[in-house]
Amino acid sequence: MQKAIVIGAGIAGIATSIRLAVKGYDVHVYEANTYPGGKLTSINVGDFRFDAGPSLFTLPHLVTELFDLCGESSEVHFKYNKKDTICNYFWDDGFSYSMPSDSAEIPRSISNHFDVSEDAINHYLDLSKTKYELTNPIFIEKSLHKPSTYFSKKTLRALFSMFRLDLFTSLHKKNKILFSDPKLVQLFDRFATYNGSSPYQTSGIMSMIPHLEMGLGTFFPEGGMNSITESLFGLAKRQGVKFHFSNLVDEIIVEDKVAVGIRIGAEKVLSNLVVSNMDIFSTYKHLLADQRQPKRILDQERSSSALIFYWGIKGKHSKLDLHNILFSSNYKEEFDYIFEKKDIHKDPTVYINISSKCKESDAPNNCENWFVMVNTPSDTGQDWDTLISKTKKNIIKKINKTLDLNLESLIIEECLLDPRLIESRTRSHQGSLYGTSSNSQYSAFLRHPNFSSQIKNLFFVGGSVHPGGGIPLCLNSAKIVSNFI
């Protein structure tokens, strides 16, 4: 039996291990932490449980198909429900909007709350769906770095429809052309943050992302987001995958331009192929230090990072749902601070996720678990302690004003995560959440491929390589690598 080594037990690494085990490989996963999941894990703070990282769940079939692949019923091991409300949105002037999840109801609902016609929303969402359907088979499901990708009917169809993809205009500009209501423009601009980018720089092709929420729906796993990790971890073990935790890999061993294994301290572990689920920057700098470095890729701008407060909150708060956005009053300036000034704006957009709205056991009686996040620059040496103290005050001030609360009196537990901790726990360079940013129309083509063109039997998965960050794209990266192998 041939042996495969996977470095990193993030969600892409686990998915890859499952797919390789099904192919008949003896799969060993080496993970520096004591737990699986990478960013997709959970923490307990007092009597409160929090999903520590990704909080939005779309395209659940990418999880359930792994159970199908193994001949198991996903309904037994992994259950989820569609949300009735996609997100609650709030602005500083007191205006708020709760978006329903019924795709047929969304255009009428938006038209009733914003200065826009149903026809205009239907047109936008139709374009979003078209972009997704044109690009998904090329940009997401396949490698952009294999010639065979470009010789298919789907690719030719996408190329002939290039003018509809808005590759060469920014997402903000596209939204501003189609909508006159500034609040609605801001609502659709926020989808740039799904890959850690600025709507004022990222390509208009990103207007495909709303289709994932508004066309296909948002969901919540019954056990919380961490149950995605737990269920796939269990599936991998049942397929015979061996996990080695608290094992920090020091080197990928390369002989005659072939990856032949890994080194952990003085120990060498040989294999027939190696898959790295580590951030691509850290993979080259730490594990492939003696190999030629892809400088152009490694020098790219990093995506945004995050500052997250995990707050145990007294009381039940009916204005809020699972997903909530409190918008900045100056969105353009907020992104200038993140990507130009490498700072956090005094009035940041605040995201609040409350999983106890769906899973009551995540918080004690008459309490809620608030995951409160703002987008930040990646870590380039800022004075984070001062930034955190200042930003915490600004967040609390914003929440108090928008929701008419006295939040300081309601916080009974607190823990936080900042870019420094994100990097130390996940080896994500500078604590970036999505590897490199997508602040360019060419960014999709500049991501590192899922294979090495210089070293045979070496592959790459996860959010820092093609097709990008986020749970669906990470799971697709595992599928792409599996198909290569």
**Range list of H helices, 221-371:** 226-238, 280-282, 295-298, 331-336
Question: Above 90 in pLDDT, residue 440?
Answer: no
Question: Which residues have C-beta within 8 Å of that of residue 376, sequence separation ≥ 6?
Answer: 304, 305, 306, 307, 338, 344, 387, 418, 419
**Neighbour tally for 336: CB within 10 Å:** 15
- pLDDT value for 137: 76
Q: Where are the domains of the chain?
A: 3-40+58-63+223-300+436-484, 108-213
Distances from the Cα of 126 to the Cα of 95, 121, 130, 164, angstroms: 27, 8, 6, 11
Question: Above 90 in pLDDT, residue 442?
Answer: no
Distance from C-alpha of 362 to C-alpha of 354, rounded to nearest angstrom: 9
- pLDDT value for 446: 75
- pLDDT value for 142: 66
Question: Above 60 in pLDDT, residue 149?
Answer: no
* Token couple for 156: 């030719």
- pLDDT value for 136: 83
Question: Above 60 in pLDDT, residue 161?
Answer: no
Model confidence at 479, in pLDDT bands (50, 70, 90)? very high
Length of the chain: 485
* Token couple for 87: 């997100």
Phi and psi for 233 in degrees, rounded to 5?
-60, -45
In this predicted model, what pLDDT tens digit does every residue of 251-310 receive, in sequence order?
A: 999 999 999 999 999 999 999 999 999 999 999 999 999 999 999 888 999 999 999 999
Distance from C-alpha of 274 to C-alpha of 265, rounded to nearest angstrom: 17
Residue 231: name the closest of 58, 57, 11 by CA: 11
Distances from the Cα of 50 to the Cα of 225, 234, 351, 375, angstroms: 9, 21, 14, 18
Determine if the pTM surpasses 0.85. Answer: yes
**Neighbour tally for 52: CB within 10 Å:** 21
The domain 3-40+58-63+223-300+436-484 is classified under which CATH number: 3.50.50.60, 3.30.1650.10, 3.10.180.10, 3.40.50.2020? Answer: 3.50.50.60
Q: Which amino acid is at 235?
A: L
Give the residue carrying structure tokens 């960050």. 469
Q: Which amino acid is at 287?
A: L
Share of the chain above pLDDT 90, in %: 88
Is 261:271 a contact under the CB 8 Å cutoff?
yes
- 353 DSSP β-pair partners: 323, 371
- pLDDT value for 276: 98
DSSP symbol at 338: I
Is 304:193 a contact under the CB 8 Å cutoff?
yes
